């Protein structure tokens, strides 16, 4: 297999595998849209998924080797929550938290001397 053939095959297989994960529920559960269990999941699953995505990615964005482990992400995350409860403007909350996180990361004010 030449390099280009391999690359094209690779991209095709990856695209099919990714698309499969997204379309399978629509193929197998389409007829059950009105089933109370599907409605139950439709109502509560998004909130649960959002909370778990927030938790996992917050943990991954944290510097656990800093003087106070994880403080960078905790501060920025708390700022998002506070600004959002205060003004309830999604863009403002996201901008404030992201700016705070970038500032902390780029100035390195919370890092330990060892990691520097």
State the nearest-atom distance from the C-beta of 113 to other proteins, in Å: 19
Residues of span 8-37 touching other proteins by CB under 8 A: 9-26, 29-30, 32-37
Residues of span 73-102 touching other proteins by CB under 8 A: 73, 76-77, 80-81, 84-85, 90-91, 93-94, 97-98, 101-102
Nearer to other proteins, 52 or 68 (CB): 52
The reply to whether 54 sits near other proteins by the rule CB under 8 A is yes
- Cα–Cα distance for residue pair 114/116, rounded to 1 Å: 6
State the nearest-atom distance from the C-beta of 67 to other proteins, in Å: 18
């Amino acid at each position: 297999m030449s390099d280009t053939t391999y690359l094209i095959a690779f991209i095709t297989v990856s695209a099919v595998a990714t698309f499969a994960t997204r379309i399978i529920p629509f193929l197998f559960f389409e007829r059950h849209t009105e089933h109370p269990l599907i409605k139950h999941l439709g109502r509560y699953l998004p909130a649960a998924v959002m909370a778990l995505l927030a938790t996992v990615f917050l943990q991954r964005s944290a510097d656990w080797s800093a003087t106070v482990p994880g403080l960078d992400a905790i501060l920025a995350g708390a700022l998002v929550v506070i600004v959002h409860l205060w003004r309830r403007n999604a863009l403002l909350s996201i901008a404030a938290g992201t700016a705070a996180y970038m500032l902390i990361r780029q100035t390195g004010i919370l890092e330990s001397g060892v990691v520097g």
